[in-house]
Amino acid sequence: MSNPTYKIAILSGDGIGPEVMAATLPILNKAGEKFGFKTSITEALVGGCAIDATGSALPDATVNTCKQADAILFGSVGGPKWESLPPTQQPERAALLPLRKIFGLYANLRPAICHKDLIHASPIKNSLIPDGFDVLCMRELTGGIYFGEKKTVAVAHGERSIDTMVYETSEIERITHLAFKAAATRRKKVTLVDKANVLETSVLWRKTVKAIAPQYPDIKLDFIYVDNAAMQVLKNPNQFDVLLCENMFGDILSDELAALTGSLGLLPSASLAEGTFGLYEPSGGTAPDIAGKGIANPIAQILSAALMLRYSFAQEKAALAIENAVRRALAEGYRTGDIYTEGTKKVGTTEMGNAILSFL
Ligand code: NAD
């Protein structure tokens, strides 16, 4: 059988986006050579640079490029230049939200990994995480309280505002299967984060997840209330493997976990649709304070490409090889400014990319 070719839409965006993307593409290429696949890449404008060029943060041409692709590798968008635009035209809102909607990206995966060599950067006491930690936060992205009916009405002494949290069985089922499948490639445990003591939607989440669990007999399932989860990730993140969360709980917990790893420059994310399509991007933003200086950490973008290989193209070995090359570069002491400590090798974006490439 001939080698598969994967069509990838490259949306680098603004700020450090193009810099970290440039360090990532040679790594994707080399992974293809090593593991027997090809990538066909089409670049398209998104975010502030797209507003400057076309007046729209998500031009039709970009949407078309994405529609023809098997996956989107995204940088990040936004920056001070566009902050005075009305909220609905801000690059993040006008580009990412429509992309989520157009492509039905219903599951957001944020692996929070604190490497053994970087535990000093974590705000958690190092004695609690001697080997670092690795937790996958899986957040439902298109339902729940952010999308339920909302309104504000006048009442006698002010106003009353209502947000509605809504979930249907089918929305819970599809992400639950993803969570169990992800756990199967990891430490084989899923923890459902909910508030089943007070929320009807949480009761439905528990019931639905429990009903699916017997299909995955090798995976351990347990439950935790969200308030306790917020505390437990601080005390002992290693007790968790996959945290399955409805939209708002996942929004909050994934940021808490990101902060616990020490640097935004290390964290990838995946937003998945039904089937194999996905959008992959670093968890951080465009880092305007360091953009254009060649010092941004490319690891989050490189690990996002690894997630793309894993979840959209089922190239698990290639994904693991990239993740191991990143681990090796860190173990060998390569550090961009955001994770630098005395005694390690301070490098820029390109050098970090080249080091990872050489260990692949
Ligand atoms: P940010 O993530 O861009 O920066 C926060 C801090 O983290 C900065 O000090 C930055 O230098 C550092 N940082 C982030 N990524 C880094 C990397 N790869 N290497 C080294 N350091 C890194 O968040 P912000 O300052 O709140 O936002 C800046 C802009 O990015 C805003 O316009 C915001 O709207 C946008 N943003 C976009 C996305 C996205 O595209 N998904 C996400 C978040 C923020």
DSSP string for 81-93: GGTTS-GGGSHII
Q: What SS3 class is residue 12?
A: strand
Task: State how far the alpha carbon of 180 is from the alpha carbons of 28, 184, 210, 267, in Å.
Answer: 27, 6, 12, 22
Q: Which CATH class is domain 1-109+264-360?
A: alpha beta
| Residue 38, phi then psi, degrees to nearest 5 | -115, 155
- Whether 117 is catalytic is no
Beta carbons within 8 Å of 18's beta carbon, 6+ residues apart: 12, 75
**In the chain, where does the domain assigned CATH 3.40.718.10 lie?**
1-109+264-360, 123-261
- 81, 188, 189, 195: which one is catalytic? 195
Query: How buried is residue 40: exposed, middle or buried, by Cβ count under 10 Å (0-12/13-18/19+)?
Result: exposed
- In the numeric block, the tokens 């599951």 are attached to 107
- Whether 255 is catalytic is yes
Would you state the pLDDT for residue 322?
A: 98
| Residue 147, phi then psi, degrees to nearest 5 | -115, -10
- Whether 251 is catalytic is yes
Would you state the pLDDT for residue 161?
A: 95
Query: Which atom from ligand 1 is nearest to the alpha carbon of 78?
Result: 32
Rounded to a whole number of angstroms, the distance between the first and last alpha carbons of the chain is 25
The residue type at 153 = V
- Does the beta carbon of 264 sit less than 6 angstroms from any atom of ligand 1? yes
| Residue 163, phi then psi, degrees to nearest 5 | -115, 145
Cα angle at 72 between 16 and 18, to 5 degrees? Answer: 20
Would you state the pLDDT for residue 140?
A: 97
Query: Which atom from ligand 1 is nearest to the alpha carbon of 290?
Result: 11
Q: Residue 115 in contact with residue 132, Cβ under 8 Å? A: yes
- Does the beta carbon of 234 sit less than 6 angstroms from any atom of ligand 1? no
- Greatest Cα pair distance, the chain, in angstroms, is 72
- Whether 195 is catalytic is yes
- Does the beta carbon of 291 sit less than 6 angstroms from any atom of ligand 1? no
Tell which one of 12, 49, 88, 264 to mutate to probe ligand 1, the residue whose CB is within 8 A of the most ligand atoms. Answer: 264
Q: Report CA(333)–ligand 1 centroid distance (Å).
A: 24
- 189, 220, 255, 317: which one is catalytic? 255
Would you state the pLDDT for residue 199?
A: 98
Beta carbons within 8 Å of 221's beta carbon, 6+ residues apart: 189, 190, 191, 192, 209, 210, 213
Would you state the pLDDT for residue 1?
A: 61
The CA distance from 226 to 192, in Å, is 9
Closest protein CA for atom 10 of ligand 1: 287
Q: What SS3 class is residue 282?
A: strand
Closest protein CA for atom 26 of ligand 1: 285
Would you state the pLDDT for residue 114?
A: 93
- Does the beta carbon of 19 sit less than 6 angstroms from any atom of ligand 1? no
- 227, 235, 293, 345: which one is catalytic? 227
Fold of 123-261: Isopropylmalate Dehydrogenase (3.40.718)
Query: Which atom from ligand 1 is nearest to the alpha carbon of 301?
Result: 18
* Cβ-based neighbour number of residue 217 at 10 Å: 7
- 14, 117, 241, 251: which one is catalytic? 251
Q: Report CA(256)–ligand 1 centroid distance (Å).
A: 16
Low-confidence ranges of the chain (pLDDT < 70): 1
Tell which one of 286, 335, 349, 350 to mutate to probe ligand 1, the residue whose CB is within 8 A of the most ligand atoms. Answer: 286
